[in-house]
Homo-oligomer: A and B are copies of this chain.
Amino acid sequence: MLNYQLDQTFNALADPTRRALVERLAQGPASVSELAAPLPMSLPAVMGHLKVLEESGLVKSEKTGRVRTCRIEPQMLSQAEHWVAERRAMWERSLDRLGAFLDMTKEDET
């Protein structure tokens, strides 16, 4: 995954309003005003957040008539998940190496 895509994806998820939008969209598609209704801010503010989500690839939208319907795009979600999982795995391998090293030195002591 490219660096700037990770920037955009993690940045999109770093805001509670945007996570609320993702959470709502995880339950199914919604229009812009449906998404904005429960949020304590103006519609243009919500549209700003949707723009960030859409640029990150986490959300896609489509306009039919005067209604824009937004839906979640789970691929980016799983790519972010993978980045984190891989670093955690790296860390665990480095712990294993440390463990092996400590075992080795222990054997030397005996």
A residues lining the B interface (CB < 8 Å): 3-4, 6-7, 10-11, 13-16, 19, 22-23, 25-28, 72, 74, 77-78, 80-81, 83-85, 87-88, 90-92, 94, 98
Copies of this chain, complex-wide, total: 2
Query: B6, B10, B87: which contacts A26 (Cβ < 8 A)?
Result: B87
The SS class assigned to the A binding surface is helix
Given contacts A77-B87, A78-B88, contact A14 B10 (CB under 8 A): yes
Q: Are B16 and A14 in contact (CB under 8 A)?
A: no
Within the assembled complex, what's the spacing in Å between the Cα atoms of A73 and B32? 38
Residues of B within 8 A of A4 (CB): 16
Docked-complex contact B90 and A27, CB < 8 angstroms: yes
Given contacts A3-B16, A7-B16, A25-B91, 13 further A-B contacts (CB under 8 A): A6-B13, A6-B16, A10-B10, A10-B14, A11-B14, A13-B14, A22-B87, A26-B87, A26-B91, A28-B98, A74-B88, A77-B88, A77-B91
Once bound together, how far apart are the Cα atoms of A92 and B74, in whole Å?
9
